[in-house]
Structure 1
Amino acid sequence: MTGAELPFEVGAVRRWLSAEGLGDGPVRFRRIGDGHSNLTYAVAVGGRTVVLRRPPPPPIPKGAHDMRREARILQALADTAVPVPRVLAVAEAGEVMDVPCYVMEHLDGVVATETLPAALDSAEGRGAVAHAFIDVLAALHTVDWRRRGLADLGRPDGFLERQLDRLPRLIADQDGTLAAPFDELRDALRGCLPMSGEPALLHGDFRFGNVMLSPDRPARLIGVLDWELAGIGDPLADLAYTLATYAVPAEPPHALTMMSAVTRGEGFPGREALAARYGAVTGRELSRLSWYQALQLFKLAILFEYNRRKTATGHGDSYYADPALVDGLLVACRRALREDAAQPTTSSQR
């Protein structure tokens, strides 16, 4: 990429990398990822490659895309059972570019969303990949986040209530009115709110597009990426997001399952099997998991609708312009709510 195509000054990045002992000489940049959120670049300098992360171009919503926070979480997880890239340098706004940014190590692995590496692309290999994937999520939810210095990362009390209160404001009218069908789904979710268990450190976007696999056997994750939505809260919300965005053959795809179509292949276990494996490791009560999946699909529908409206005014990412993306998420949300309603209930569950 040329300097004219980059949202920062190349010379400032080159000087920063040199000062941090990460390489001298000319730098070359290559975009990584789909570009719908934070911007990620592979940076070749001085015979090595590092990875640069920065927020998207402005306007940036308040509290979003916090690179300092993301780097801090990676540093806190550096020697745990959760594989993360090593943070090499962090810069405040104004030091290198007009926004905070950081550099991390470059991992030699594969982000598998459509196909698996040849060594793992068999029925047995696919099952092993899925197990490694869900095991890392379970490991994350057993991290002692207080001892890791992350106690101020969020407020676990009232976590689910805030999810249903704050996010819908993105698409509400000035008087707070939420249009149908979003108002109906919010009220349905509020009407059967489960009780949260012990809080955990959450990733917030744990799916195949945000993890890196080793290309060789045995199946294992070598890095969990994109921690911008991490926080402290109900871990079943994290698990539910992972399952709701995990593609299965029997369902029509929606916007997020289309991003991880690889899991539709023979040998990948279904959602129930993954949930059971997670439950066996963590001991979590999973009877209301369908409700949590409905919550996450509702939230995704709001975010996609918010971005769709931005494109309608001539702003935002054209990826979100198709209203069918929102419709597919709403359909999946209703399906999950029906599944939750069909579950046997007790007074402690509802």
Structure 2
Amino acid sequence: METERVEGINAGAVESWLVGLDAGLTAPLTFKRIGAGQSNLTYTATDLEGRRLVLRRPPLGELLASAHDVAREHRILTALQGSEVPVVQVFGLATEEPVTDVPLMAVEYVEGLVLNTAADAEQLAAEQRHRVGLSLVEAIAKIHSVDLEATGLIDLTSHKPYAERQLRRWSGMWEKSRTRDLPELDRLTQRLIAGAPEPSELTLVHGDCHVRNIIIDPADAEVKAVIDWELCTLGEPLADLGTLLAYWNEPGDPPTVLPNSTARAGFATRAELIEHYARVTGRDVSDHTFWHAIGLWKVAIILEGVRKRQMDDHRNLTSLGEVGPEAVDDLVARANAVLDAAEPVT
């Protein structure tokens, strides 16, 4: 049986590789692009018995240096196997022809629910919706408690001040991926540079932890797996809280390209997420506003990069369609509003 052609996958060679991994699949396999992710591409590989694995590879076309590093993601997930952090089981990494021309990772398929849309949220009762945010905060806390020495991740990246590193790195990403001038983003960048807090501690940081990057059990809304680790680094733990706040919509928020699933009745508020993180970790969360704003700033820059990749190569379009310039503009405006609201009234 001939496998169907899927963009980005050399089906015949990948099938042979996967069957040889002793991961429970038997030929023939079918491949399908899945997920709403706008960065690394994700696929399922399914055999005739319905057994599945998940594949991850970089986007198609020309990429920025150091971006979309699937081999690095493989290293991180492998290090976290057996830890308290809920992650998928890793089966293998292919890096060479004839299997693949880019790093290709094979991991466990986890049954569960991903809250990509409002319709997904409708599958949960009100008490389950409220539990989603609290369970996600608890998963983030487990990430921040990882023993870096024991897992071998202590040398994952630089130990220099994290806010400074992030501002420099993502400013550079903006310059490389921008499709137009955006003075409001430049103004936001200067505000963030001026308001960066002093370094506090160094932990593992997921870098992109939000409702679209977790798989939950629809029965009890507990996090079964945290996925999409390509932005994982070492840094300030509050950065993950800020990313969560950036993606977390509430009723009455202006519409953006970010998930609207949490804007339904029953979900925890951003204030509740902040309070729960402080309670389960014992950390001082007084700098959460800065990290919330920098989280929005980073997502805006990421989306500009997505726009550029889509403009350069339409094969990178996902089920969410084309990202327009207003999606980036709206996030910049929201980040400036977050900083405005935190400024003392004079």
Using structure 2 for the length normalisation, give the TM-score.
0.89
2:298 matched to which residue of 1? 299
Indicate the residue corresponding to 2:287 in structure 1.
288
Does 1:6 pair with 2:7?
yes
Check conservation: 2:245, 2:270, Cα contact below 8 A. Answer: yes
% identity of equivalent residues: 35
CA–CA distance in structure 1, aligned partners of residues 38 and 66 of structure 2: 17
**Corresponding residue number in structure 2 for 1:254:** 256
Change in 2 beyond 3 A, CA 1:314/1:211: closer
Q: Is the 8 A contact 2:121 2:261 kept in 1?
A: no
Secondary structure of the equivalent of 1:20?
A: coil
Determine helix, strand or coil for the equivalent of 2:14.
helix
Question: Structure 2: how far apart are the matches of 1:137 and 1:304?
Answer: 23
Please provide the CA RMSD for this pair: 2.6
Amino acid across the alignment from 1:102: M
What amino acid is aligned across from residue 293 of structure 1 in structure 2? H
Aligned to 1:347: none
Match of 1:43 in 2: 45
Q: Specify which of 173, 184, 188 is matched with residue 185 of structure 1.
A: 188
The one-letter amino acid paired with 1:191 is A
Please say if residues 154 and 233 of structure 1, whose CA atoms lie closer than 8 Å, have aligned partners that are also in contact.
Answer: no
Is 1:18 aligned to residue 42 of structure 2?
A: no
User: How many residues were matched structurally?
Assistant: 337
AA at the equivalent of 1:221: V
- Say which SS state the counterpart of residue 57 (structure 1) adopts: coil
Deviations 1:233-252 (A, max 9, x none): 11111110111110111321
TM-superposition CA deviations, 1:93-127 (whole Å, max 9, x none): 33621011111111111112324577x72222221
Q: Could you tell me which of 167, 170, 176 is aligned with 1:167?
A: 170
Give the secondary structure class of the aligned counterpart of 1:5.
coil
The equivalent residue for 2:91 is: 88
Query: How far apart, in 2, do the equivalents of 1:103 and 1:77 lie?
Result: 15
| Aligned match of 1:245 | 247
Equivalent in the alignment of 1:57: 60
C-alpha change, 1:95 and 1:69, in structure 2 (3 Å) is: farther
What does the per-residue CA deviation read over 1:280-305, in whole Å, with 9 as the maximum and x for residues that have no partner? Answer: 11122111211111112122222333
CA distance in 1, matches of 2:239, 2:293: 10
Task: State the one-letter code of the partner of 2:32.
Answer: R
The 5 A counterparts of 1:120-199 are 121-172=124-175, 180-199=183-202
> 1 or 2 for the larger relative contact order (CA 8 Å, sep ≥6)?
2
CA deviation digits over 1:43-79, x for unaligned, max 9? 1136321111111112122111111211121122222
Say whether the 8 Å CA contact 2:112–2:218 is kept in structure 1.
yes
- Alpha-carbon distance, 1:311 to partner: 5.4
The CA deviation at 1:179 is: 5.3
Q: Relative to structure 2, which stretch is displaced further, 28-37 or 219-228?
A: 28-37
**Letter matched to residue 282 of structure 1:** T
| 1: CA distance, partners of 2:98 / 2:69 | 16
The alignment partner of 2:279 has SS state of helix
Q: What letter is aligned with 1:131?
A: L
Instruction: Select 1:234's aligned residue among 236, 257, 263.
Output: 236
| Partner-residue secondary structure (3-state), 1:84 | coil
Gaps of 5+ in 1: 345-350
Are 1:273 and 2:272 an aligned pair? Answer: yes
Q: CA deviation at 1:222?
A: 0.8
TM-score between both structures, scaled by the size of structure 1: 0.88
Which of 332, 340, 344 pairs up with 2:334? 332
How far the C-alpha of 1:312 sits from its partner, in A, is 5.9
C-alpha distance in 1, partners of 2:315/2:153? 33
Question: CA-to-partner distance for each residue in 1:175-220, whole Å, 9 max, x for gaps?
Answer: xxx8522222211111121112211111111111110011223x31
SS in 2 for 1:69: helix
Give, as a single letter, the amino acid of the residue that structure 1 aligns with 2:170: L
Hey, what's the Cα distance between the residues in 1 that align with 2:70 and 2:31? Answer: 19
**Could you tell me which amino acid in structure 2 is paired with residue 7 of structure 1?**
G
Distance of aligned partners of 1:304 and 1:9 in 2 relative to their CA distance in 1, 3 Å threshold: closer
Cα distance in 1, alignment partners of residues 340 and 17 from structure 2? 54
